[in-house]
Amino acid sequence: MRHVRATARAALVFVVFLVFPVRAFADATLFLGANTSPANRLAKGFAIGAGLLVIGFEFEYADTTDDVKAAAPALKTGMGNVLLQSPISFAGIQPYVTVGAGVYHEELGTAVDNTGFGMNTGGGVKIALVGPIRLRVDYRVFTLKNGALTTPAHRVYAGLNLKF
């Protein structure tokens, strides 16, 4: 009997999605910011994603410069992320939280050359500017495995986001 009810619920959800389709969206972001661990360094990158209502998925690539004097390595990250976001904007502001995983590469002169697995958590807001153009402000904490020189790594950025 339980199996029949579960099947009936699944069929009902499927029919609701067919009858009332949720509009999908996509967006792309170009950003500049700072990786603040262990010293402030320039971070730049891009993100491209898609989503339905409150859940989204994105791929993000970022490149942070090194600071040899501060023993702060260059850091490149490629992460796949899941976003939970407000389905609507409040006064033109759409908040979100995110979690993801991927790979990183860390270099510091000739002493450090490390590649490994990393995870990140964070959040931010997308602020409407004009038409489909938004300002995206984001904060992330990266936990880097495989003997990373600097973990966790903290990054904050702002960028232009195009919603399409």
Any domain includes 11: no
Confidence (pLDDT) at 53: 86
Average pLDDT over residues 118-135: 98
Type of residue at 150 = T
Is the pLDDT at 36 greater than 70, yes or no? yes
Average pLDDT over residues 43-57: 95
Number of domains in the chain: 1
Any domain includes 16: no
Neighbours of 39 (CB within 10 A): 14
CATH number at 117 reads 2.40.160.20
Mean of all residue pLDDT scores within the chain: 91
Q: Which of 14-23, 57-66, 90-99, 131-140 comes out lowest in average pLDDT?
A: 14-23
Average pLDDT over residues 149-157: 96
Residue percentage of the chain with pLDDT more than 70: 88
Any domain includes 106: yes
Query: Which tokens is 24 given?
Result: 């999908």
Residue 69 pLDDT grade (very low, low, confident, very high; cuts 50, 70, 90): very high
Any domain includes 13: no
Would you say 157 and 61 are in contact if contact means Cβ atoms under 8 Å apart?
no
Residue 23 pLDDT grade (very low, low, confident, very high; cuts 50, 70, 90): low
Would you say 127 and 86 are in contact if contact means Cβ atoms under 8 Å apart?
no
Range of the domain at 91: 22-163
Confidence (pLDDT) at 5: 77
91: left (phi over 0), alpha (psi -120 to 50) or beta: left
pTM: 0.83
Residue 109 pLDDT grade (very low, low, confident, very high; cuts 50, 70, 90): confident
Average pLDDT over residues 103-111: 92
Any domain includes 76: yes
Neighbours of 147 (CB within 10 A): 10
Any domain includes 79: yes
DSSP for the chain reads -HHHHHHHHHHHHHHHHHHSPPPEEEEEEEEEEEE-SSS-EEEEEEEEEEEETTEEEEEEEEEE--BGGGTB-EEEEEEEEEEEE-SS-BTTEEEEEEEEEEEEEEEETTTEEEEEEEEEEEEEEEEEEETTEEEEEEEEEEEE-SS-SS-SEEEEEEEEEEE-
